[in-house]
Amino acid sequence: MSFFSSLSRRRRRTMVGAGIATLTIAGFGIYRVTSDGPDAVPVNVDFILGGGADVNGRGDKLATPGTYQGLAAASAGTVYLFTQETDGMVMWRKKPSGAVERIPVSGVNEAQAEQAAVAPDGSVYLAAGDLWKISPKGKATKIIDTRCKKHTPLATLVSKFCTGQVTGVSIARDGSVYIGDQVILGDDASYVHRLDGDSIKLVAGRPPAAGESYKLSNPAVKNGIDPSSGTKATDVLVTDNLNSGWLAFDKEGLYWRNGPGIVRINHDGTLSPVVAAKSPRKIAETKGPFDSVGRALDAEIRRNISDATRGDLAVIPGRGEVYYSDGGAKYKPTKEGPFRWRDVVSDSQKKLIDESTNGKLVYLVKAGKLAPVIAGVQAIATSEDALYIAVESESGNDRENPENWSTAVLRLQLPNTK
């Protein structure tokens, strides 16, 4: 039996293409973007939620006011956007049919999610320091409360579990809930846990031993970023806890962002490297969307300095693609330059992009190769075959007033894999 099938108002951000492009298939499955040829095809984005000027509008006329609070997508394509309005949090639900619902959230306020995930029953889990579950009708329930005294990463009951913060959440096809969590004061370390009712089980990471080194010369630390073959997930010590914890599932296993790298937790409980910081100097300079810059194993994810949420990790199972965000530099969405957002057509969409806040650069890992995708996003989410991005903008000088903010969700038009 396999490892997984056996498992029954805006936050203060203190911790937490060039010209016209032609898409061609490059080696190892990465799509290379060039500016040559008369039949050039640009990389476009489509506004699917927000971007309009009317809070009561429909389709591309609809505005979704407030600051960004969370983004998630179900495998079939229903998209969930959370915003903070003056009167509280709101969940926007956009179905593949185009129908949009605005659902006020009760029981929680100002909980900005580092990551969100949709359960089979339509509930949405928010990893927002604490772990919240938002019902389809908008009722919030706190599943994990981090206001606790003694950290207990090895606890077996949720009621006895204590951690410093929850930054990641992902849900397997069978409905199992996985979280990425960290102890941030004391015995610093990052973990993955699985929840099943009131039961909780450690899946990856371990506490440090007394006096144990946090340096890469410690094999347990090195194996947390670039694991040797056969390394058990529960044997590694992941110490970069302010940049760890984001999760994503596909048929190969559970992907875990842990500081400068990403590993996959395989079905047998061992780790495989995905982004491993082996030789960052070999990574080429970023040129434009889908332009391969080298081996993913050589890449290093930089520490976040962006104003956006710290990290993102998502997979598109139908395409065999892993996406992550790098917040090591600040980017704004732009209508010009190599990472311009094309298909921004209406006046309100252009205004939103012009007034957008800083965001992150998103990368694609496919067949071992790495390529940048889009810059200036707050968050990413995926369905079975699509990549969604969130952007927010600010009008006026009162940054603490949600009425001056607007958030939108766009879908990136991905290259044809055939």
* Residue closest to 198 by CA, chosen among 239, 159, 168: 159
Q: Say if 252 falls within a structural domain.
A: yes
CB 80 within 8 A of CB 91: yes
Side-chain half-sphere of 74: how many Cα atoms within 13 Å? Answer: 18
Give the model confidence (pLDDT) of 7-58 as tens digits: 333 443 333 322 222 222 232 334 333 333 333 334 689 999 999 999 999 9
Closest CA to 80 of 39, 134, 29, 130: 134
Q: What is the pLDDT of residue 397?
A: 62
What's 78's domain CATH number? Answer: 2.120.10.30
pLDDT at 416: 79
Pairing of strands 199-204, 189-196: antiparallel
Q: Give residue-wise pLDDT tens across range 117-171.
A: 999 999 999 999 999 999 999 999 999 999 998 999 999 999 999 999 999 999 9
The tokens describing 283, both together, are 């990574």
Q: Is residue 230 within 8 Å of 255, Cβ to Cβ?
A: no
Can you list the alpha helix ranges (DSSP code H) found in 84-129?
none
Length of the chain: 418
Residues in the chain with pLDDT values less than 70:
1-43, 396-399, 418
d(CA 242, CA 389): 23
Cα separation, 75 vs 52, in Å, equals: 26
How many other CB atoms sit within 10 Å of the CB of residue 165?
23
271 is written with which tokens? 């780790």
The helix or strand, by DSSP H or E, that contains position 182, with its residue range, turns out to be: strand 177-183
Would you state the structure tokens that stand for residue 180, as one six-digit string? 């990425």
Q: Is residue 17 part of a domain?
A: no
Burial class (CB in 10 A: 0-12, 13-18, 19+), 382: buried
> Is residue 318, in this structure, part of any structural domain at all?
yes
* pLDDT of res. 30: 42
The tally of domains found in the chain comes to 1
Would 14 be classed as within a structural domain? no
Positive or negative CA dihedral for 117, 181, 260, 184? positive
Strand partners, 100: 94
145, HSE (Cβ side, Cα atoms, 13 Å): 9
List, in sequence order, every beta strand (DSSP E) within 35-129: 45-49, 67-73, 79-85, 88-94, 100-104, 115-118, 124-128
15 part of a folded domain: no
The backbone torsions φ and ψ at residue 160, rounded to the nearest 5 degrees and listed phi first, read -105, 0
- Residue the block writes with tokens 């995708």: 373
For residue 117, is it within any domain?
yes
Cβ atoms < 10 Å from Cβ of 16: 16
Is 6 part of a structural domain of the chain? no
The beta-carbon contacts of 89-93 under 8 Å, at least 24 apart in sequence, are 89/140, 90/66, 91/124, 91/134, 91/138, 92/49, 92/50, 92/64
**Of 306, 310, 277, 311, nearest to 294 (Cα)?**
277
**Helix or strand or coil: residue 253?**
strand
CA–CA distance, 184 with 190 (Å, rounded to integer): 9
16 is a domain residue = no
Domain that holds residue 92: 26-412
